[in-house]
A and B are shown apart, each in its own frame.
Chain A
Amino acid sequence: QKEVEQNSGPLSVPEGAIASLNCTYSDRGSQSFFWYRQYSGKSPELIMSIYSNGDKEDGRFTAQLNKASQYVSLLIRDSQPSDSATYLCAGHQAGTALIFGKGTTLSVSS
């Protein structure tokens, strides 16, 4: 069974700090990865996608992909209380749907 693994947390950071969320995957053939944010009681919403090794930046968010080490990370700079949510990592497994991790809960304290 190919998997995407995340530390469930909770990860607690103070307002203004950098939050670092990590994800590892078992399928070496995975080519595309996605980060979703899910507020309590709501559905997941896409915040970042990454397909190539290296960094991809979008505002306060940076996704990092290292295919050799099979990990994906999400950095949130200048964390805000509104960033408090569960973050889901997903990777694509050939021939089927995305594989989702169970999510990491982030808590940003003001």
Chain B
Amino acid sequence: DVKVTQSSRYLVKRTGEKVFLECVQDMDHENMFWYRQDPGLGLRLIYFSYDVKMKEKGDIPEGYSVSREKKERFSLILESASTNQTSMYLCASSPALDNEQFFGPGTRLTVL
């Protein structure tokens, strides 16, 4: 079974802090994704990566950056957290862009 893990289920941070969200997959997938999910807005793609050190902007990259130094690990970075970044953050991986994505359990981030 594909397993995607995220470093925290719940996280509380203060405005202006730098925040790191980590995601690890164990199935050697080429592609990894970061989404945020908010009520009424659905899943919105922040960034994705199709290979180590490669990244592409999604629909809402502003205020975020990513890092993929190893194939199995994809990190989302909030350079200076703001209250409007309070959300559920979901990581996913897939073997190819047109294949199904497998999601991690999510991190509910609250920025105070």
Contact = CB atoms under 8 A, between A and B. Distances in A.
Contacts of B109: none
B105 interface: yes
A24 to B, nearest CB: 15
B90 A96 contact: no
B45 A97 contact: yes
A44 B101 CA distance: 9
Most buried by A among B42, B56, B98: B98
Contact of A95 (B33, B43, B97): B97
A60 interface: no
B99 interface: yes
B42 A103 contact: yes
A92 B103 contact: no
Interface string A42-79: 11111001000000000000000000000000000000
A25 interface: no
A96 B97 contact: yes
B74 interface: no
Contacts of A12: none
Interface residues of A, number: 20
Contacts, number: 46
B42 A101 contact: yes
A32 B102 contact: no
Interface in B90-112: 90, 97-106
Interface in A68-110: 88, 90, 92, 95-98, 100-103
A45 B3 CA distance: 12
Contacts of A31: 98
Nearest to A103: B42
B103 A45 contact: yes
Interface in B37-87: 40-43, 45, 48, 56, 58
Given A88-B42, A102-B40, 19 more contacts: A32-B99, A34-B101, A42-B105, A42-B106, A43-B103, A43-B106, A44-B90, A46-B102, A49-B100, A95-B97, A96-B48, A96-B97, A97-B31, A97-B48, A97-B58, A97-B101, A98-B101, A100-B42, A100-B43
